[in-house]
């Protein structure tokens, strides 16, 4: 698969852009465990225009990241063109446009998936960004607004026609948010469209190596993007690649191995964040996801969510490693909701 002149190999595995998730430390672990392509957190065109410090930090790229995209979102075409130019100065490998975020605070303002209500504007925005920058431009979107309005086959053609060089499709509508099942059959129809020449990347419900292979085989996509399935499980990329290459499933890690990864992510966050407590707060959405299905874990979970000092967190993690020393983490019934 290629994005412009960037050769990503056969069926690359992408880390999805996720707000307050795909920051430096989490990207570091995902890359360590085999993610082929990174993305920053998605960044607001309005915030870029205001030169907000937090937004600048989101666009910081590290050597380990590459290849990596900066994803931008917004509702105003001129602001998005400006944001793309600023993002280009951060020297990503390509720029991605967010036409898919379904959350009310974004879609409700005409950004992200909100632009699916105005396809002429969406397509014009994509074309203007393509013309404004020298880097390849890609896009990520959904099937449509709801089940009565799913224009993805036509939309994919139109985005290709204005210069988008790869399209990632989350197999749900905006109205579904993250409920129901992703429609990989419809993603496959986009890929099978004889007019489509650009790569199609599939996204949605990839929570295991078996699902990754089934979705890839069903749809024929050029790449797979993993989002929520990687939270608390950055080694899912390694597991998927091993399964693709050998047909064998790797055993899940023992809890002490997981603890070491949590510590690594936490230390990476603290080294990057100006305030250590900010890094600890940032990690809270990851803690419980790292330890699914453990018996009698509630008290440890509460302690992790209440701790505010690094020493406290490390002590709790050490206690977890001792208590569950011989236990493997079970992802069998993991939920992405």
Residues noted as catalytic: 101
For residues 323 and 327, give the distance between their C-alpha atoms in angstroms, rounded to a whole number. Answer: 9
* Cβ contacts of 197 within 8 Å, gap of 6 or more: 160
Backbone angles phi, psi at 278, to 5 degrees: -65, -40
* Cβ contacts of 177 within 8 Å, gap of 6 or more: 102, 103
CA angle 149, 154, 159 (to 5 degrees): 115
Number of other residues whose CB lies within 10 A of the CB of residue 311:
8
Helix/strand number for the chain, H first, E second: 14, 11
SS3 label, residue 255: helix
SS3 label, residue 77: helix
Closest CA to 64 of 13, 26, 8: 26
- What is the residue whose two structure tokens read 């672990």? 29
């Amino acid at each position: 698969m290629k994005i412009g002149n960037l050769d990503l190999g056969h069926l690359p595995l992408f880390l999805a852009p996720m707000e307050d998730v795909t920051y430096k430390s989490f990207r570091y672990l995902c890359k360590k465990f085999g993610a082929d392509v990174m993305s920053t957190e998605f960044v607001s065109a309005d915030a870029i225009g205001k030169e907000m410090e937090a937004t600048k930090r989101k666009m910081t790229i590290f050597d380990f990241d590459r290849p990596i995209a900066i994803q931008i979102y917004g509702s105003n075409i001129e602001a998005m063109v400006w944001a793309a130019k600023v993002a280009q100065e951060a020297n990503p490998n390509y720029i991605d446009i967010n036409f898919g975020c379904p959350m009310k605070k974004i879609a409700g303002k005409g950004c992200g998936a909100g632009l699916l209500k105005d396809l002429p504007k969406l397509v014009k925005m994509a074309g203007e960004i393509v013309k404004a920058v020298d880097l390849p431009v890609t896009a990520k979107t959904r099937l449509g607004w709801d089940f009565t309005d799913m224009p993805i086959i036509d939309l994919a053609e139109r985005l290709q026609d204005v210069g988008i060089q790869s399209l990632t499709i989350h197999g749900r509508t905006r109205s579904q948010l993250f409920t129901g099942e992703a429609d990989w059959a419809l993603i496959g129809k986009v890929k099978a469209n004889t007019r489509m020449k650009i790569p199609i990347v599939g996204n949605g419900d990839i929570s295991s190596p078996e699902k990754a292979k089934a979705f890839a085989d069903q749809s024929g996509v050029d790449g797979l993007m993993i989002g929520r399935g990687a939270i608390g499980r950055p080694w899912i990329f390694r597991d998927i690649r091993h399964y693709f290459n050998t047909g064998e499933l790797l055993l899940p890690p023992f809890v002490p191995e997981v603890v070491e990864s949590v510590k690594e992510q936490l230390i990476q966050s603290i080294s990057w964040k100006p305030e250590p407590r900010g890094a600890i707060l940032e990690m809270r959405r990851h803690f419980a996801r790292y330890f699914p299905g453990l018996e009698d874990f509630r008290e440890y979970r509460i302690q992790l969510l209440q701790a505010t000092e690094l020493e406290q967190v490390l002590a709790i993690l050490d206690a977890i490693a001792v208590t569950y020393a011989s236990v493997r983490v079970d992802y069998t019934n993991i939920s992405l909701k």
